Structure 1
Amino acid sequence: MTATLLPSGTERGPRRWPLLGNLPAFARDPLAFFEHLRDGYGDWVPWALGPRRNVLVSQPAHAGELLAAVESSFSPNELGWAFRQLLGNGVVVATGDDWRRKRALVQPAVRPRQVRAYAAEMVGCADALAARWSAGERVDVHREMAGLTQRIAVRTLFGSEAAGREAPISAAMATAQHELGAEFRGVTLFLPSWVRTPGRTRMRRAVNVLDREIAHVIREHERASAAGEERDDLLSRLLAARDEHGHPLSRRELRDESITLYIGGHETTSTTLTWAWQLLSGAPEARARLTEELDRVLGDRLPTYEDYPRLPWTQQVVKEALRIYPPIWLISAVARDGARIGGRPVPAGTTVWTSPWSLHRDPRWFPDPLAFRPERWDDDAPDPVPEHAWIPFGGGPRACLGARFALVEAALVLAVLARRFHLDSGPDPVPVFPGLTLQPARPVHAVLRSPERSRAGLT
């Protein structure tokens, strides 16, 4: 982050602590903090994270301007030592010409034509999970969805030969995510990189495991390529990619992009599916409509990529889950000289934030915002959603490259599992933990029931 002294002006915002600014309130509950700023102070709110000047914008148009201006009048915001340790200098973190080069190399691997090739793996892994489930069984939904999307991510990213490396990668990623969230919400965010804390030690150990496991897979792919073996996974496509000068990604770059794609294909999708099941459990009409669509479109067969556009309600369930529980809950960028938002100048060095969590739950854009209503996304819905009011994948030139992959994966997995089971997790709300992604703060347990029994009101 760029450090900037706080101004002595009288802009309206929350009271700040000396040196700490608004860090105590932000660290205690950042989601509630952003909603408090929006509701208590308006659409343009100055606040302070330590000594650094920040502004929260809550108008969709302003969020859109911010997203569009990154790489022109704004720079991506560095979110601390732990964030950099995990993502390295991948396409999410890189800037300028380096970012443009990496985006051009990575983007072809996740275009719709390539996602089509991965759909069969998504469906196959979900079907294998459904075969292991039994009606009446009680499952930990988040653990099951994390295990499933992990298998899909490893197989589509690294190929089926890497299936045995799922467990250490998953365990290390879970530790890394926890420590990243803890650092971002604490004073360690401001400590120099050379300072060692217990959390940073755990983070470094987790990253070492990830580096070792991914390096092994890269070496295996390089050996297979040298032997003339053709593979159709994401890593093979990254290995074959060449920039405009004919240069490939280095091993370090391959590692960084593998981590980025893994997070996009596993972490975000597993949380989206977990929240979707939780929301469907408390919405019998929405669940019945989902069952009807799957019965009508699929019958007794598994879905394919070609079914994706034929499952609009399934897609809307996913979109509504992403609205209420956006995996990426904050977006920020640092103003350069001449930056403006909404016609208003932004001093250089100011970090401008927008929060998908706060935007998605704003009653101005989404009436009764806490209600799970997939019909909001009907083509003829009475309350059209303003542009940039729904931004779970960001937007502008730095929009998430894996958005299509994640949406297709979530919808196909939901279709496979919902054909055979209803996950009844009960009425109790589940608290959230805002780490790298928006995770359930406790296990989400559900009883597996048949969709038919659920529609009949049986328990």
Structure 2
Amino acid sequence: MVPGPRGVPLLGNLPEFGKGPLAFFEKLHARGDVVSWQFGPKPSLFIAHPEQVGELLTEVERTFDQPDLGIAFRTLLGNGVVVAKGPDWRRKRSLVQPSVRPKQVRSYAATMSECATDLAESWTDGQRIDVKQHMAALTQLIAVRTIFGVDTAADAEAIGRAMDVAQQEIGAEFSGIGAMLPDWVPTPGRARIRRATAVIDAEVARIVARHRDGDTERPDLLSRLLTAQDETGAHLSDQEIRDETVTLYIGGHETTSSTLVWAWYLLSRNPDAYDALTTELDQVLGDRTPAFDDYTHLPYTQAVVKETLRLYPTIWLLTGIAKEGAVLAGRPVPVGTRVWSSQWVTHRDARWYPEPEEFRPDRWLAEAEEIPEYAWFPFGGGPRVCLGTRFAMVEAVLILAVLARRYRLTVDPGEIRPVPSLTLQPDKEVRATVQAR
């Protein structure tokens, strides 16, 4: 273990971390693969090597515990499967997992392509668009259709606005002084996230009531959650339904929306990769709309998504708390130590990725076998790997396929920097010109 930069009394390295978490983790990594630092008064370790990342992710629930990510995070997600621990987590995972298995994702693929096609048909040659706004609206619509089984702009708009506020406040509290404050301390940010969550709760409650009043079977995720039973025959409670639908919404909307924004940005800056993408789409699809079965026949399109997630991972941070018996790199970790890993840092390590700052989708075709396990972990890994991984990958690939087959998006010149909040967001509007192919 290598000592990290000196901190200040009580706050440790929190002030520097809060100014720029990504730059701070890069600074720690420059010192080594296992570096100690102080998150406030709490002892912490930063790890960057895939072997140690794997040790952390695979040992969660045994020798590492899920950390408390703060009142803002809990206000939004409640005690959903991402937050729950121990037997409660295992029960909820068993109830939620069947809703996002490959068979179920297949049934959602038509909705994904249909929504993307509707967006493509609304575009015109030469049109100027806000890429983030269009991708957010698209993935929101897909989310409310596949998760909630509703199809009105009001549902998507109300939930989407509230989610945007909640995401901003979670990021602000997590990397600021709010991370050190007790839950009972009132702050303007906590008030804002409570108001946003109240909107989300009201929308979810209304949609759940609509489902329960219906007399027909629905194919959406919410309906499957409402009928799911654990081994004792018990159903999820109303609060649990709320927590899981919000969790699935974030996984199905926020992560994919952000990934697509970064993908258009990277493709626009790398015309050779854009040409390779459209060549594959022309050869595989021709003039038809992609379906679920096309996913496996679009390896370069998948590689574009993977390479985007390498450079701009939507989830940029994972942590765990050491329990009795925790070990990293062959050395015991004191109980209570908080261990941090960042996809942003490990994904950009030249040891695993030649020319790590370059956007090279082909590396996932030619060099994939040389990339170590846990050198790429945008969806986490181990027993708590994101349940929506398949959903998110299929959604991103099909949306790219639908839109890039018909249009070329040219993002305006200038660098766009990532801002770490709940997900990794661009620091400004991403404006682009739509060009018909």
Paired residue for 2:294, among 307, 313, 330? 307
Moved >2 Å (runs of 4+): 160-164, 380-383
Alpha-carbon distance in structure 1 between the residues aligned to 2:392 and 2:316: 16
TM-score normalised to structure 1 length:
0.94
What is residue 346 of structure 1 aligned with on the other side?
333
Alignment-derived partner of residue 118 in structure 2: 128
Q: Spell out, residue by residue over 1:119-149, the C-alpha distance to the aligned partner (whole angstroms, 9 max, x if none).
A: 0000000000001111111100011100000
User: What is the number of residues matched between the two proteins?
Assistant: 437
Question: Quick check: 1:15 aligned with 2:6?
Answer: yes
Corresponding residue of 2:17 = 26
C-alpha distance in 1, partners of 2:221/2:277?
31
Q: Distance in 2 between matches of 1:232 and 1:405?
A: 15
Shift of 1:381: 2.4
One-letter amino acid of the structure 2 residue matched with residue 369 of structure 1: P
How far residue 12 of structure 1 moved from its aligned partner, in angstroms, is 1.7
Tell whether 2:398 aligns with 1:412.
yes
Residue equivalent to 2:274: 287
Correspondence for 1:64 among 27, 47, 54: 54
Alignment partners' CA distance in 1, 2:382 and 2:96: 17
1:163-178 to 2 correspondences below 5 Å? 163-178=153-168
The 5 A counterparts of 1:376-455 are 376-378=363-365, 380-381=366-367, 384-451=370-437
**Residue aligning to 1:365:** 352
By how many angstroms is 1:162 displaced?
Answer: 5.4
Q: The residue matched to 2:386 in structure 1 has which SS?
A: coil
Q: Secondary structure of 1:371's partner?
A: coil
Q: Percent identity?
A: 57
Q: 1:151 to 1:161 in 2, by over 3 A?
A: closer
Q: 2:208 aligns with which of 196, 218, 223?
A: 218
In the TM superposition, what are the counterparts of 1:118-267 in structure 2 within 5 Å?
A: 118-161=108-151, 163-224=153-214, 227=215, 229-267=216-254
The amino acid that maps onto 2:411 is S
1:31 counterpart letter in structure 2: L
**Which of these residues, 318, 326, 336, is aligned with residue 331 of structure 1?**
318
- Offset from partner CA, 1:335-358 (integer Å, 9 cap, x none): 011111121100000001110011
**TM-score calculated relative to the size of structure 2:** 0.98
CA deviations 1:369-403 (Å, max 9, x no partner) are 1100001101x328821110000000000000000
Q: SS of the residue aligned with 1:419?
A: helix
Question: SS where residue 370 of structure 2 aligns?
Answer: coil
Cα deviations across residues 207-266 of structure 1 (Å, max 9, x unaligned)?
110111101001111111xx3x11000000000100000000000000000010000000
1:275-301 CA distance string (max 9 Å, x none) = 000000011111111111111111111
Mapped contact 2:267–2:273 kept (Cα < 8 A): yes
Range 153-162 or range 411-420, more displaced: 153-162
Q: Deviations over 1:7-40 (max 9, x none)?
A: xxx952111111110011100000011011001x
Q: Does the 8 Å CA contact 1:155/1:163 hold for their aligned counterparts?
A: no
Q: Distance in 1 between matches of 2:433 and 2:409?
A: 6
Matches of 2:320 and 2:372 in 1, distance apart? 22
Q: CA deviation at 1:90?
A: 0.2
**Alignment correspondent of 1:7:** none
* 1:382–1:203 Cα change, 3 Å: closer
Letter in 1 for 2:28: L
Aligned partners of 2:341 and 2:311: how far apart in 1? 16
Preserved CA contact (<8 Å) 1:176 1:203: yes
Separation in 2, partners of 1:162, 1:261? 19
Secondary structure at 1:160 match in 2: coil
Contact 1:376 1:383 in 2 (8 A): no
Equivalent position SS for 1:374? coil
Unaligned runs of 5+ in 1: 1-9, 452-459
- RMSD value, Cα: 1.1
Residue 439 of structure 1: CA displacement? 0.7
Q: State the SS of the aligned residue for 1:55.
A: strand
CA contact (8 A) 2:3 2:37 kept: no
Letter in 1 for 2:321: V
Structure 2 counterpart of 1:74: 64
Whether the 8 Å CA contact 1:57–1:352 is kept in 2: the answer is yes
Question: How far apart in 2 are the matches of 1:441 and 1:106?
Answer: 34
